[in-house]
Chain A
Amino acid sequence: MHSITLVVNGVVREATVPARTLLSDCLRHHLGLTGTHVGCEHGVCGCCTVLLDGEPVRSCLTLAVTADGHEITTVEGLAGPDGEMSPVQRGFNECHGLQCGFCTPGFLCTATALLRDNPDPTDEEIVEGVAGNLCRCTGYQNILKAVRRAGELIREEA
């Protein structure tokens, strides 16, 4: 068993986990943050994407112990302190960028990092930016629109 300390969504969290525990399972089952979803457990679908020190990572391919001492943002941490949805979340809401919502947390985290680094991406950059995440419901068209819209919102609010 290993005691680890993570800063999750700005809050210091401690957990005691076996060495083999995946970060996704640690977040979901040890810390109760079930917003991060697991669609394949083998690093392909992107559902489990979280931000580790600001960078998107697949939490199903990350051992919880390797995240010890690091900062993690999950979908639960994207909204503002007052609960107002982030521009990326609002973009998805406005553009019907989700159906079942299972892939959505991964897309939101991915798009958050994408737009932070490049608030005015071209259409190709958006496609490229989300091309590592699978969605079985939306056919992506409204996801791309949502990311575009989120960029607009970020620029308007900057």
Chain B
Amino acid sequence: MTTKLFGEPVQRREDPRLLTGQGRYLDDLGQTALAAAFVRSPHAHARIKDIDVSGALAVEGLVAIYTWEDLPGRAGQPLPLLIPHPALTHGRTAYPLAKDIVRHVGEPVVMVVARDRYLAEDACALITVEYEFLKPVVGVEEALRSGTLVHEDVPGNVGAHLVQEVPSADGRGAAEAIEAAPHTLSFRLDIERSASMPLEGRGVYARWDADDRSLRVYTSTQSSTSVRMAVAATLGIPLPKVEVIAPDVGGGFGVKIMHPWPEEILVPWAAITLGREVKWAEDRREHFIASAHERAQVQHVNVGFDDQGRILGLDVTILHDHGAYTPYGIIVPIITSTQLLGPYRVGAYRVEFSSIYTNTVIVTPYRGAGRPQGVFCMERTMDRIARHLGLDRADVRAANFIQPDQFPYDQGLIFQDGRPLIYDSGDYPETLRMLKELIGWDSFPERRAEAARQGRRLGIGLGCYVEGTGVGPYEGGHVQVTSDGRVHVSTGLTSQGQGHETVFAQIAATELGVPLERVSVVTGDTRRFGYAVGTFASRAAVMSGNAIALACRKVKEKALRIAADALEADPRDLSITDGVIHVTGDSRAAIPLATVAVLSNPLRYAFDEESRRATQFAGATPPDRPPVAEGDEPGLEGRDYYSPIRATFASGMHAAIVETDPDTAEVKILRYAVVHDCGKMINPLIVEGQIHGGVAQGVGGALYERMVYDEHGQLLNASFMDFLMPYATEVPHIETAHLETPSPLNPLGIKGAGEAGVIPVSAVIASAIEDAEGFPIDRMPLSPSELFDLRADHGA
């Protein structure tokens, strides 16, 4: 049997558990815990005048009711601002329970704990909160225009303002370069709110051990280590006394990287205060109004270009809606403004964004995290240039590509990790060639003409992106071989369905030369690994994958050293196959890894037959040497970290053929093609799955999903009945092709694939609809009724 598993389409190891109902998601735990529920603000902007809980006191099974006034010390302070940035001059975060003022519908005001969730909700319904209404601010332009402030001390509702400018090679600024260009265009683009919307909402379950004075928290999070630090700091518990575990998580897509949520502080605090286990599982309406959204931006574009469509100057102004608070900082607009450039080198670039407060749900990363908006902007620009010049859209893109011999390529900007935006590798012309071939770009005009003869309207579109993946600061891996020959791998970052138990096991099995079945992987459990950043930005495979590989190499080196002693061989002549270390070319001189694990730990006490070999009278170590050599450690285990100098850059290009109904303006995606470069693939089955899922979310964002707020700040479609996510009937068959340009930045050459699928979809669909309809598409999503109206506007 081969142990070269890296790169193989191995079936997932988490599946048998999840397919038989043996998964353990947050609400599957703590069946006897008390249940928490929240009274949430029904108003977008109001002052709390009075909270009357008396009506709820008679509810049978009621255990406790808490308001802000009950929260002690730091628990009553505003939640942390996770990612400070000098440009975020007016960062504001919420209190765990509202103090005086509520700033969006859904903000938690009162926490109720009762015997079960039904009773807790009964009590919530009987609590009366009296509000004095304040004028709500909805929409970024309204926020800038109106005199009403979301936060009294934030003038103009502007939380942050950031300008980045890269002059052209001849030293011109963007404005000057555009001015001097032979052709110029200016236009505006509008992008709506959507949301991650995992099918499992958030949830927290806490147990306080009063005897041990220790806290265990389970939370449906993308970053258990960071929740642990926040809980320990906020509740004043020594860090070693707090454990945080992400159990099986039913999807994240970004929303669960935000932390600590108010509930992640309140539920553990209540568990400690009450001395009882407490659990809260979010319901769907809560998820709509009390978690996070993303995407909404207004973009103003000025571009100057030459006769070939080469961009000489690009100036983009972005108004970014970050909702009522900024706990996650300004990562999303930073990513939009830097990743906007995609695979292109532009003459001069200037980008400016304002990140703006509104009385709506907070905005934190959703898969793609600002990139879909940036790509929408750049790709709409490319299409407009092509249209203006009467050139092929693919040719205009090709004219602007960074060439394969120009890597590493410095875009001259500062990226989301605070480091220079330098692309590591890629081959954009080849990707485009593959895409054109896959979708049949050059033969499309015939297909369109053929369809037109039948009265059908077809269009083709494309979109290109570059995605900074695998951002730091670091991840770690721990690998232990136990005396039964099993390999136990752990890493601190979390899993939400990406198949980490499988891909990390593939890496470990390949590195150590052991069968896959012998490897087990634990993620997101601070009992096993305390140092981590989290799962976001397509970074898990790059960061933890490499850290685990490095830890395995340490283990292997030690194993070979011990085996060399035992076999009286040179470690350089040894290799490991199927969990057995052997001398190359001599099949009899061999020792199982299990035995090496035994020998690695000099013992006084035997605990089984095998372990007798390591005891002190067994002669395992020569009497003239210490049993554990200086600088060595007992046990066959290793820990290592991977901390890259900067991000890797995956890339890809998508194309679609759509049909628009001449009467109903319905849009049907006939074909969807993806060419994708995530460096070396660990498991192509899983990479493809990530792409499929991303494209489906992209289709939702392009055609269906939007958060509809009215002028009062009420979210009108806070249910799956009205917020339209694609079903199987809406997602086209996705055709994929892969290109592998290894990253030179990490030992495994991988780049990360988690977000790739979603990033260019809105741009691609807009491009195709524009091609079918013959007028510019300037917004996402685009519903049939909007397309219908646009036709009327353009007299089409």
Task: Identify the A interface with B (CB < 8 A).
Answer: 18, 20-21, 28-29, 32-42, 44-45, 47, 74-76, 78-79, 85, 89, 92-94, 96, 98-105, 108, 127-128, 130-144
Contacts and interface: CB of A to CB of B under 8 A. Distances in A.
Nearest to A141: B692
Contacts of A94: 11
Given A85-B16, A136-B199, A141-B734, A76 B21 contact: yes
Q: Among the interface residues A18, A29, A132, A136, which one has the most CB atoms of the partner chain B within 10 A? A: A136
Nearest to A143: B728
B219 interface: no
26 contacts: A34-B28, A37-B25, A37-B200, A42-B720, A45-B199, A47-B199, A75-B21, A93-B15, A96-B11, A96-B686, A99-B497, A99-B498, A100-B198, A100-B248, A100-B496, A102-B199, A102-B497, A133-B728, A136-B253, A136-B693, A136-B697, A137-B689, A139-B734, A139-B757, A141-B734, A144-B728
B250 A101 contact: yes
Given A76-B20, A139-B693, A20 B118 contact: yes
Interface size class of B (residues with CB under 8 A): 35 or more
Given A96-B689, A103-B199, 15 more contacts: A35-B20, A37-B200, A38-B27, A39-B200, A45-B720, A79-B20, A98-B18, A101-B14, A131-B729, A132-B727, A136-B697, A138-B692, A138-B693, A140-B731, A141-B692
Contact of B20 (A28, A32, A85, A137): A85
Contact of A32 (B25, B31, B725): B31
A99 B694 CA distance: 12
A62 B232 CA distance: 41
B517 interface: no
Contact of B497 (A20, A39, A40, A137): A137
Contact of B19 (A41, A89, A99, A132): A89
B185 interface: no
Contacts of B757: 139
Given A127-B729, A137-B497, A102 B24 contact: no
Interface string B720-739: 11000101110101100000
B146 interface: no
B654 to A, nearest CB: 13
Contact of B728 (A18, A102, A140): A140
Given A98-B18, A100-B198, A101-B248, A44 B692 contact: no
Contacts of A47: 199
Interface of B: 11-12, 14-16, 18-25, 27-28, 31, 116, 118, 197-200, 248-251, 253, 283-284, 496-499, 685-686, 688-689, 691-697, 719-721, 725, 727-729, 731, 733-734, 757
The 4 residue pairs across chains A and B that have the minimum distance between CB atoms: A35-B21, A100-B497, A102-B250, A101-B18
A131 B727 contact: yes
B16 to A, nearest CB: 7
Contacts of A143: 728
Contacts of B721: 42, 44
A89 to B, nearest CB: 4
Contacts of B11: 93-94, 96
A33 B253 contact: no
A140 to B, nearest CB: 4
Contacts of B695: 139
A133 B693 contact: no
Given A96-B689, A101-B248, A141 B697 contact: no
A99 B499 contact: yes
Contacts, number: 163
B283 A41 contact: yes
B545 to A, nearest CB: 18
B6 to A, nearest CB: 18
B719 A100 contact: no
B696 A139 contact: yes
A29 B27 CA distance: 9
A136 B251 contact: yes
A137 B499 CA distance: 12
B202 to A, nearest CB: 13
Contacts of B497: 98-102, 137
A96 B12 contact: yes
Contact of B200 (A75, A76, A102, A142): A102
A105 B253 CA distance: 20
Contact of B15 (A34, A38, A92): A92
A21 B498 CA distance: 34
B516 to A, nearest CB: 15
Nearest to A104: B18
B709 to A, nearest CB: 20
A136 B198 contact: yes
Contacts of A139: 691-697, 731, 734, 757
Contacts of B24: 34
Nearest to B734: A141
Nearest to A44: B720
A35 B23 CA distance: 7
